[in-house]
Chain A
């Protein structure tokens, strides 16, 4: 018997007990729908984490100035400006796989027209945008002359734009940072919240020399080229760990640290923290899918149960089919196709319900969901496999019946 004929026979047999077939499918329907919703929710959560990682910039190292001890009191990370702009320049020169940008940071009140806003002012170099993977929504970045000549120009973040300018175009407007006038030359693209919930768009970037002399005040001017942080981006395709070691060695050498002494800076691998977070969200997604697939297996047991009942009910039919020439594989195929038809139809209905369910979750619970075709195909394939696996035993039982006994079965 060919597949088309088997399918017709299966559909007819299933149509005889419509309610029973529908109830049997229900297990698979719920299972497949649950798998699809769970994978969509899990993938959504993962996508959110990934988006945050992308916003931060991947392959990122953060170097912080070290601790200072003043009269026995240890003042903590960043209390001593052990890093300098020259460290960043040296990294860029010595390690071609790394791109470094020094940064100074301080809070400042910003005024435009009759509005004002407290924000963070970063002093840095044009590389900072590359390192943080920050693009400009409008305007331009700093030019070399502005860097060397302490130009009073600024790049503003989206939050600052909203708070200060409202709907007005900020480019070429003049703002006052600590009463010093700056011309806005560019607007940064929005990045949203960081993984730890801070607003990454609430900032202004100015050339580092300008920040030191005009904005952040005397404290920073004490040591001519000192900076609080250096951001380092490792070029794609290079092992962040290896570059991290190279950077550490270079800095220790530049700071003339003896072997065995502690670093006077702290070097953090941000990608690693991100990767851990991503891994945990992936585990969560897997866990959800695993729980959902348990219901698929329960559905499969339901199919096996009904198929066993069906084989018993149709023993005489099986005997007759054998009498007129059905071989073992004909009977096996007939019942196997019936089980798989049950599970596949259930699977397809489950896909429709699952997609609807995922959309409902996105709409009413406000969670981010991500429907992937792979998950849909996988769920249907799993339903198919369940049909084969749980349909095989009843089908084999049917195919092994003794024709004489089957024909005489009451």
Chain B
């Protein structure tokens, strides 16, 4: 597929624990195209987190080849990986991972700081992203002054602020109630509709149904790769509100 944003071939990741070798990933080959909304599923220990760490350029594979946007990632140095993450990848975590005692605005500015963007530019771009996730009224609030859903929106704004090619969401709704979860999924779907590629890790089928493609992992192997029709989070949200 010429349009593949992610191209993984025979990815292997081996951990050494004492004398034992653990093959967390055992020969994974997969391609993800631009604009896809993919969910990665599997029980804990299936290798899905390891897979995500490799795709997210947080870790390097023990074997195989990984091309991101045509660039070989497998043999990049530490700081080069950091630069790829900074420029092309956005991360959303289960526990938000916002800096405490730091305003929403400054949290969103963080990737821009490491990219060396000038202060005035940084502020403008961070404000624009906070506006896009609907938090323009809360820019000076600290994480402790925001609800879980609002914190996750700040995290999404932070993931978007460098205009990445791809967003990784690792259990983004794991710490949220079902209504707020729908809200966040609606936001991710909307971003996807605007062209953003999204890779979502979850173990909840409720959440996985919003993706058009499911990759299922088991014991370090990719056991299923299904394309299907995605549910519409925004419509579900409307229905919820209508019932309430």
Contacts and interface: CB of A to CB of B under 8 A. Distances in A.
B115 interface: yes
Given A12-B101, A316-B97, A407-B97, A325 B58 contact: no
Interface string A306-324: 0000000000110111111
A320 B86 contact: no
Contacts of B114: 1, 321, 324-327, 330
Contacts of B78: 327-328
Contacts of B158: 324
A330 B53 CA distance: 21
A325 B111 contact: yes
B113 A404 contact: no
A276 interface: no
Given A317-B99, A325-B115, A407 B82 contact: no
A403 interface: yes
Given A5-B113, A404-B53, A404-B59, A326 B99 contact: no
A372 B63 CA distance: 64
A365 interface: no
B32 to A, nearest CB: 19
Interface in B97-116: 97, 99, 101-102, 110-111, 113-115
A330 B116 CA distance: 11
A402 B50 CA distance: 13
Contacts of B83: 325, 327
Interface in B162-212: 162
A328 B58 contact: no
A19 interface: no
B82 to A, nearest CB: 5
Interface of B: 53, 56, 58-59, 78-79, 82-83, 85-87, 91, 93, 97, 99, 101-102, 110-111, 113-115, 158, 162
17 contacts: A1-B113, A12-B101, A16-B101, A316-B97, A321-B110, A324-B85, A324-B86, A324-B91, A325-B82, A325-B87, A325-B111, A325-B114, A326-B82, A327-B78, A328-B79, A403-B59, A404-B53
